[in-house]
Structure 1
Amino acid sequence: MEDYSNRLSGYDDRMLILMATVDRGRYHDFAIEAAKRLLADRHIDLTQYNEDFYISEIASGYGAGWEKLIRIMLEELRINGWNCDITVHYKEKYGQFELSLETDNYILNEIIKKHLTIINCSCMICGEYGETMEVAGWNYTLCEHHFIEKYPIIYYIDNKGFTIRKEQYSWEQISEISLLTADYNTKSENFQDIAIAEVFFFDQRETILLSGEWVNWFLFLKTIPSRLAPVWLTGELEKFYKTLKYCPVCQFQSVQEESCFYCGFWMPSILMKKNRVEKKGEVFDENEVFLKEQSYLKMPSFINKLRSLEKSFVKTTL
């Protein structure tokens, strides 16, 4: 206990209050008792931190959409017998909200199950219907509007400029574009090493960083004016586009190293499926696989809406 008290003595009141109350499910019993002891020494009465405090803390920090829905769940739990004596475990993981109680009360657990189904199909930001998607390496549950708004997309690229999240940028405003390798510190000396573009402005506003994860990345590189591009870029881009192969799924000229930039189809998966089917003694139909994948691209999903915004590649036929 003494060791924990010494370790926690530098924590502020709020952190100790959370450890001793709403977040106690995340800590060892010794740490919780040490937090309570330190709070008593500071003359802080924990009895004032009731269910209203718990509800406010658990629901906050995720976005207005989820906050409202989490509050509704916790209020229903309170009406049906949940109180501060029952420890809560809660977190957001991979874009989904998780909550459980240290209880075997059937009614409370069924309430949680019902509400989590609703919460995890709702946009964190607005509460409308949402899907869980990865955005720049992080998972979120978002409606179509907020998914597209949050996703890194470069719109309306032409010889005048481009748009990012409703902000328009003119090429004339830009003083320099540094094409960097993945370590952010080294200027790229060839096309294959380009991972990031750092854009500088004449008016010295904050720079913007774009990367290969952005929709329309290759179109952006193609459209950079010659005064801002390294001398080798145009030739390297021409070589890149000439090496692209036809994708039998999305029918775009967008395949490099067996993977499609546009639809994400991985060509070796055909061989893997062929081996599995023939192992069962069945006849493998390659066209059937392509048709099935094409049907996925026609489904009304957010990711397919996102694909439709990609203008770096051209549709073609064999």
Structure 2
Amino acid sequence: MKQELINAFIERNLKNFEVNSTGWNELIRQMLFEFAIGGWNIEKDIFGKEKYGELRCYTYSEDKELNTVVKNITQKYAALSMETCEICGNEGKKRSVDSWETTLCLSHYLTQKPVIEIDEELNVRSNSKILLNIKDIVKVDIEYDLQKLCLYTEEPVYGTEGISFSWQEPNYYLLLKTIPLHVFPPDMQNPVSALFENLQHCEICGHKAVHQRSCLRCHQEPWTESQVFIEDYGEKTNYIKACQMDSFIDEDDYEKYFKYDRSFEKSHDHQILFGHHDLKEYEKLLF
């Protein structure tokens, strides 16, 4: 088969894929090339799309042998797509952004995740865009676990009644601490105040962020002499060391995302308990 015909087939069908950006274009081109040399009738179009962060290609042949080839090709490129950033084509992995599954490199993942910022004039920004000013807040709705709040001003912002924030965004607790107590519902003012008054230092991450048996910064539990902890780790030092190594490895990129979080003060004498050898041995167990 002439290369010109294959190229025309590839470029014609590239337009038949509904994807979020151009990062998968080379993957799709290579997949279409394998279709062409694998026996597919290049007069017939192929269609596909992105779904749940994967490249899906819905193609079928009544020829059983060809259908096996087609299935192998589509499965191969579905797997490759889950390791390729949809935007730039660099190495990526599946991530969740605003409840949507997508495959992104770290750089494009971080640019799409909201980061709360509060400037000296008390403007609340998200990814550098001013959303409101804390002095203009007239009402706050907050969930009883204090992990989500909705802020209201006298003048609706951007046509919405309120703007929501959650604990999953860096500086959420800084925002919660900065909002004047009197705008919270009366029954929630004491819980909000008590949260910050009763925080304890976390021996794992070093932040003063332990609240009700969990660290609000690293989300680990403090060590207890419980049977489960003792069976799994033996002693406190081993537990802290394992948790610290998990944070350092940062497989889900949480620490990279929360690098600029200023919600909690960090102890100056916080100790890292693991060394290079410990980390290498731990990685062998994980990977």
Superposition TM-score tier, normalisation by shorter sequence: 0.5 to 0.7
Q: Which amino acid aligns with 2:18?
A: S
Matches within 5 A, 1:266-277: 266-267=221-222, 271-272=227-228, 274-276=230-232
Instruction: Work out whether 1:198 is the aligned partner of 2:151.
Output: yes
Say which one has the larger Rg. Answer: 1
Instruction: Work out whether 1:124 is the aligned partner of 2:86.
Output: yes
Instruction: Work out whether 1:92 is the aligned partner of 2:54.
Output: no
Distance 1:315 1:70 in 2: 47
Q: Which amino acid aligns with 1:217?
A: Y
Matches within 5 A, 1:1-318: 55-57=14-16, 59-83=17-41, 92-93=51-52, 95-99=53-57, 108=70, 111-112=73-74, 114-169=76-131, 171=133, 174=136, 176-181=138-143, 192=145, 195-200=148-153, 202=155, 205-207=158-160, 208-225=163-180, 235-267=190-222, 271-272=227-228, 274-276=230-232, 284-299=234-249, 302-316=253-267
User: 1:65–1:219: structure 2 CA closer, same or farther, 3 Å change rule?
Assistant: same
Contact 2:31 2:77 in 1 (8 A): yes
TM-score by length of 2: 0.67
Distance 1:124 1:228 in 2: 42
Deviations 1:69-109 (A, max 9, x none): 3344234323322348899887623x344557656557655
Q: Which amino acid aligns with 1:292?
A: A
Paired residues in the alignment total 252
User: 1:276–1:226: structure 2 CA closer, same or farther, 3 Å change rule?
Assistant: closer
TM-fit CA distance, 1:306: 0.9
Distance 1:274 1:104 in 2: 57
Provide the identity percentage: 20
Which structure 2 residue ranges, 5 or more long, are not aligned?
1-8, 271-287
Distance 2:255 2:245 in 1: 11
Q: Which amino acid aligns with 1:151?
A: K
Deviations 1:106-132 (A, max 9, x none): 765554455344321222223222232
* RMSD (Å) for aligned C-alpha atoms: 4.0
Q: Which amino acid aligns with 1:258?
A: R
Distance 1:128 1:258 in 2: 40
User: 1:142–1:175: structure 2 CA closer, same or farther, 3 Å change rule?
Assistant: same
Distance 2:168 2:223 in 1: 22
TM-score by length of 1: 0.62
User: 1:170–1:289: structure 2 CA closer, same or farther, 3 Å change rule?
Assistant: same
Q: Which amino acid aligns with 2:249?
A: M
User: 1:196–1:290: structure 2 CA closer, same or farther, 3 Å change rule?
Assistant: same
Residue aligned with 2:24, SS: helix
Residue aligned with 1:65, SS: coil
TM-fit CA distance, 1:275: 2.6
Deviations 1:156-195 (A, max 9, x none): 45443122122134527846443244xxxxxxxxx64673
